[in-house]
Amino acid sequence: MRSFSIVVAADLANGIGLKGTLPWRLRKDMAFFANITSKVVNHDSEKHKIKRVNACIMGRKTWESIPPRFRPLISRFNVIVSRNPNYLDGVSVSFFLGLFNLLTLSLFSYPTRVVCSDKPEKEDPLVAVAPSLKDALDLVESLQNEPSESETSFLNDALMAVSSIVPAPLDVIPDELPDFQVDRIFLIGGAQLYEEGVKSADCKNIFLTRIQTTVDCDTFFPNIEETQYKLLSSSESHTFLEKYLHEPVQGGIIEEGDYKYEYTVYNRI
């Protein structure tokens, strides 16, 4: 199920950024963002043999706006949308992808992915690059269902075969299939992907932290069409978020420093 949600903070004029950074620093909202994008609630230890994580899809500029010490976003599958297949580590992966697709996609509907990490000492989270939002969604959708034993065996054999052909070093080639499944999918920026995302029928929810003022911004969130989405009331948004996260969420207007803001929810009609 490839449905996804958008997470964003915007002022009253839909401003979301200034010179590649957030125009505000709101500790509670950042904690809310981390929680909603990382918490896995659809986990059944008896049913699922491998761990489940959420996926965060973002553009290259959004990825680069995250302080290096905080990226990859921990405990989440980070997918960077970039037209440059060599974006991470300057490694060409097109040859590997072509061979792997040739070996596997004719038999299984299991799209390949390029697994990378700028923190190789950590096993998780992983980072992948996709050329478009559609490809990113295809990628994470392929990781939402646990493959059968026969698929796992075949795909691991294909990985070994391709790895023996591609010249070293190619750290982006995984030596085995991913040891995780994707639960929920979130689109977290930037403006261009937001523009595409809100128009997608696959976008079911928009979690918008509404800053109760206007500030100097040069990047904006697109208008949300009333014919496509319903803005829940303050109480409805609060109830929806608590059910979505299975835990208490602060409702109403939140005051932090010089700012007032509220967690709002738009649901696709």
Confidence tier at 94 by pLDDT (50, 70, 90): very low
Residue scoring higher pLDDT (65 or 46): 65
The mean pLDDT value for 141-152 works out to: 70
Is the pLDDT higher at 69 or at 148?
69
Q: Kindly give the residue spans of alpha helices, DSSP state H, lying in the chain.
A: 27-38, 60-65, 94-104, 133-142, 149-165, 191-199, 234-245
* Confidence label for 71 from pLDDT (cuts 50, 70 and 90): confident
Those residues whose C-beta lies under 8 Å from the C-beta of residue 79, and which sit 6 or more positions away, are 55, 56, 57, 58, 127, 128, 129, 130, 136, 139, 140
Q: What is the pLDDT of residue 69?
A: 86
Per residue in 238-266, pLDDT tens?
999 999 999 999 999 999 999 999 999 99
Per-residue pLDDT, averaged over 177-194, amounts to 90
pLDDT of res. 123: 39
Q: Is the pLDDT of residue 191 over 90?
A: yes
* Residue closest to 265 by CA, chosen among 212, 210, 220: 210
For 192, the 3-state DSSP assignment is helix
What one-character DSSP code corresponds to residue 218? S
Angular region, 6: left φ>0, alpha ψ -120 to 50, beta rest? beta
Pair 126, 116: CB distance under 8 Å:
yes
Report the Cα–Cα distance between both ends of the chain, in Å, rounded. Answer: 18
Q: Provide the CATH number for the domain formed by 4-268 in this structure.
A: 3.40.430.10
Average pLDDT over residues 91-116: 45
pLDDT per residue over 225-243, tens digit each?
A: 999 999 999 999 999 999 9
Phi-psi category of residue 255: left, alpha or beta, with phi > 0 → left and psi -120 to 50 → alpha:
beta
The residues facing 265 across adjacent strands are 207
> What pLDDT score was predicted for residue 47?
57
Please, which residues bridge with residue 78 across strands? 56, 127
User: What pTM was computed for the model?
Assistant: 0.81
pLDDT at 23: 96
pLDDT value at position 13?
98
At 177, the pLDDT band (50, 70, 90 cuts) reads: low
User: Would you kindly state where each structural domain of the chain is located, as residue ranges?
Assistant: 4-268
pLDDT, residue 159, reads 57
Contact (CB, 8 A) for 89 and 172: yes
pLDDT band at 199 (very low <50, low <70, confident <90, very high): very high
